[in-house]
Amino acid sequence: MSFSEFTKEDYKLIKQEYDVFIGHAAGRCRSEEELALVKKAFDFANTAHRNVRRRSGEPYIIHPIAVANIVITEIGLGCKSICAALLHDVVEDTEYTVQNISDLFGEKVASLVDGLTKIKTVLDNEDRRGNAYVYPESLQAENFKRILLTLNDDVRVVLIKLADRLHNCRTIEFMPEHKRDKILSETMYIFIPLAHRLGLYSVKSEMENIWLRFKEPDEFNEITRRISQNVALRDREIDEFIAPIAEELTQAGIKFTVKKRIKTPYSIWYKMQTKHVPFDQIYDLYAVRIIYDPKDQDPVSERNEAYIIYATVTKLYRDQPSRLRDWIKQSKSNGYEALHCTLMSKAGIWIEVQIRSRRMDDIAEKGIAAHWTYKNNGYTSENDSEVDKWLASIQDVLDSNDVNAVELLDIIHGDLTSKDIVVFTPKGEQRTVKNGTTVLDFAYMIHTDIGSSAIAAKVNMKLVPLSQVLKPGDQVEIITARTGHPKAEWLQFLTSRHARALVIEYFRNERDAMVAQGRQIYEERLEAMNMKSDRATLQRFLNYARLREVDELYFRIGLGIIGPEDFTKIVNGADNESDDRYIITPGGVGSRRYVMADCCHPIPGDPVIGFLSGKDTVIIHKKSCTVAENIASKFGEKVVVPEWVGTDMEFPIRISVRGIDRVGLLNDITSEISRNQGINIRKIQLGAEEDIMEGYIELLVKDKNNLKSMLEGLQKIEGLQDVLRTDIA
């Protein structure tokens, strides 16, 4: 922030933005009194932020106006939230207090502002003068815990914070690079999953695209270009696909609208990365959304009309049964309801069709706010409890006292990003569980006593062990015994935080014995590995386990939570990235030592992010590396902008290749790489089956230009269809 007198142009800009905003607010407020309160909040914030500018140079008040606009138009919150959005920076950045807000706008608005102020103070790691606070490493995780604690207190605080983060992302080019990287990593690690879980699809998608634009700019620009080209070619074909559907639905007397949707650049990039396919093999680029107004406003009629529409469109076009997704019968945990099917158009392209009622579409776009609006207006469906169940599960984790903040952040992140599957009880009741859930996790989910006394189970009428991982559609019956009790080995396969906590708590009654057993195991394993049992080694174990108490460490070793594989990692220093052999030391007074992370293998020319390790070492990751996202989201104070220059070193990369096999193809590939490009091949693993050749090649390249030249050369080889850079395992 900076201070300088506003000009006429500044006041003109403020008025323009205000006029648009107040038009939106007028449509959202339920009375003249509410609208008057919103106007009062704007006047107050406008006075408080007078002559204050953002990094972009524009008046600071533009930011609260933009946040309030997002709160109205993209999230759908009401008067008190609009006021809180306008006032959300006043207490932190001016001399006004929460009590001042309460006196003028009421306790609820003040409570929302107070929650947002606390989040901002600790999350941004800055005071009002722009000076960085010095925090212990775990505090950034503590900050996220404070955010999540407001979910059950008043979820509107988190929703307004998401609006605030979205606008900060929209203007992130004005941030210094190190802070930009920190903010984008936090956004990807926590805020994007939060937006997804709270059902804010448009907010989530926009944040993802902004993340990609700054983390992988070349890929973002190329994908955006390809989308534009594709749309120009396919737009008429999509319209021709829609026309018969619209005609049939009109004749059937269904009230509806149809929208066309193109897959976002981020979702295309993510699929290319995870499936290792080029752009041309993304077959679900297009979607058509049918939004209908039910004839009768009750859940059964609403649902049945969706199936009628599905029957209508599948009479017109061939569908792909394996791609049918029914989230009407069983909604997603964020409340999302829709029926998805994939149809083959007359032009020969697969198009996803999404069928939603008007209510379902509101919830899909505006998430939890719309969900609760309908609920408060008297509309209830079978799926109403899913969001509430998820909020309760989050609260269960937050209330736990036996994990530290960093562990808790990982648990929450895992919960936010996990996918759900549907399984069934013996009576046929549907239960939503996380993908990867075991039979024993399911038993504990039903009831603590059932989990603790479980001895086996039947899945689809077949006897299975408690460690069996459930699959979608499984029917599960738990077998219990009166003498059954938790066993320490259960901790090796339980995935549920709740179930693991119950098992650990059971053994706390035997804590002294477990501590003694753990100490003995610790010393015996170190002796077998020729390691000294000294204070330095013990500290390495405590750091690895993120613990402070030695007895708690021994307790976890005794239980088997910290096992032989963990010992190997700690003793061999696998957690110490400075052992990586790709090290650059440019030289010069005060120069830093740059270490190339072996999780993502960055090369010169890649967008990279650096993390301080010690006084003079910087670990270099690709900006889009998931490990880097994890680190930056928790330890933002370690983020630095790498300043290393060109080097004669070569760096490892892997390319995946696929094509039609022929005599001499391998020779052409190796000749292009070694002879024409002068690149050293380290390893080749290629195979052919039914005339399709595929596999990978590991190489040493000097920089991204070197790699690009080689890829362009390979793509010209006859029969070679796909050539992609992929991560080294």
Question: How confident is the model over 196-223, as pLDDT tens digits?
Answer: 878 888 899 999 999 999 999 999 999 9
φ and ψ at residue 519, rounded to 5 degrees: -60, -40
Q: Which residues contact 626 (CB under 8 A, 6 or more apart)?
A: none
Two tokens, residue 29: 């407020």
Helix (H) or strand (E) holding 246: helix 217-251
Alpha-carbon distance of 199 to 301, in angstroms, equals 24
Three-state SS at 277:
coil
237 CB-side CA count, 13 A: 15
Write the DSSP symbol of residue 530.
T
Alpha-carbon distance of 585 to 604, in angstroms, equals 14
The amino acid sitting at 367 is: G
| Residue 124 known to be catalytic | no
Alpha-carbon distance of 128 to 115, in angstroms, equals 17
Two tokens, residue 184: 């984008």
Number of neighbouring beta carbons within 10 Å of residue 728 = 14
pLDDT value of position 497:
77
Asked if 283 and 300 count as a contact pair (C-beta separation under 8 A), the reply is no
Spell out a b/e string for 388-421, using b for 16 or more CB atoms within 10 Å of the CB, else e.
Answer: eebbebbeebbeeeebebbbbbbbbbebbebebb
Q: Which residues contact 429 (CB under 8 A, 6 or more apart)?
A: none
Asked if 633 and 640 count as a contact pair (C-beta separation under 8 A), the reply is no
**From residue 584, how far is each of 549, 581, 650, 652 by CA, in Å?**
38, 9, 11, 14
pLDDT value of position 195:
86
pLDDT value of position 299:
84
Alpha-carbon distance of 54 to 61, in angstroms, equals 9
pLDDT value of position 588:
44
pLDDT tens for 614-623 read 777 888 999 9
**List 10, 34, 89, 92, catalytic entry:** 92
Sign of CA dihedral 412, 413, 416, 421: negative
pLDDT value of position 42:
97
Number of neighbouring beta carbons within 10 Å of residue 456 = 16
Two tokens, residue 71: 């709160």
pLDDT value of position 142:
59
Give the max Cα distance, the chain: 83
Alpha-carbon distance of 595 to 609, in angstroms, equals 12
Helix (H) or strand (E) holding 479: strand 476-480
pLDDT value of position 376:
66
pLDDT value of position 287:
87
Asked if 496 and 437 count as a contact pair (C-beta separation under 8 A), the reply is yes
Alpha-carbon distance of 113 to 125, in angstroms, equals 18
Alpha-carbon distance of 156 to 45, in angstroms, equals 20
Choose among 586, 593, 582, 518: nearest CA to 550: 518
**List 93, 365, 420, 510, catalytic entry:** 93
Helix (H) or strand (E) holding 674: none
- pTM value is 0.74
Burial status of residue 75 (CB atoms within 10 A of its CB: 0-12, 13-18, 19 or more): buried
Domains defined along the chain, listed by start: 2-174 (1.10.3210.10), 218-376 (3.30.460.10), 387-507 (3.10.20.30), 508-572 (no CATH), 577-640 (no CATH), 651-726 (3.30.70.260)
Two tokens, residue 592: 């830093």
Two tokens, residue 585: 């030391």
pLDDT value of position 717:
92
Alpha-carbon distance of 59 to 44, in angstroms, equals 15
> N- to C-terminal Cα distance for the chain?
44
Choose among 206, 263, 202, 162: nearest CA to 74: 202
Query: Interhelix angle for 155-170 vs 177-186, to 10°?
Result: 140
φ and ψ at residue 644, rounded to 5 degrees: -75, 150
Q: Which residues contact 108 (CB under 8 A, 6 or more apart)?
A: 80
pLDDT value of position 86:
96
Alpha-carbon distance of 195 to 203, in angstroms, equals 7
Full 3-state SS string of 6-61: CCHHHHHHHHHHHHHHHHHHHHHCCCHHHHHHHHHHHHHHHHHCCCEECCCCCECC
| Residue 206 known to be catalytic | no
Spell out a b/e string for 256-286, using b for 16 or more CB atoms within 10 Å of the CB, else e.
Answer: bebebebbbbbbbbebbeeebbebeebeebb
pLDDT value of position 331:
77
Alpha-carbon distance of 243 to 347, in angstroms, equals 13
Concatenate the DSSP letters of all residues of 404-472 into one string: -HHHHHHHHHHHHHPPEEEEE-TT--EEEEETT-BHHHHHHHH-HHHHHTEEEEEETTEEE-TTPBP-T
Asked if 351 and 245 count as a contact pair (C-beta separation under 8 A), the reply is no
Which residues, in sequence order, are bridge partners of residue 59?
53
Number of neighbouring beta carbons within 10 Å of residue 645 = 9
Mark the ranges of the chain whose per-residue pLDDT is less than 50: 125-139, 574-581, 588-589
pLDDT value of position 143:
59
Alpha-carbon distance of 648 to 702, in angstroms, equals 7
Number of neighbouring beta carbons within 10 Å of residue 558 = 23
pLDDT value of position 431:
80
Cα-to-chain-centroid distance, residue 172: 19
Alpha-carbon distance of 677 to 670, in angstroms, equals 10
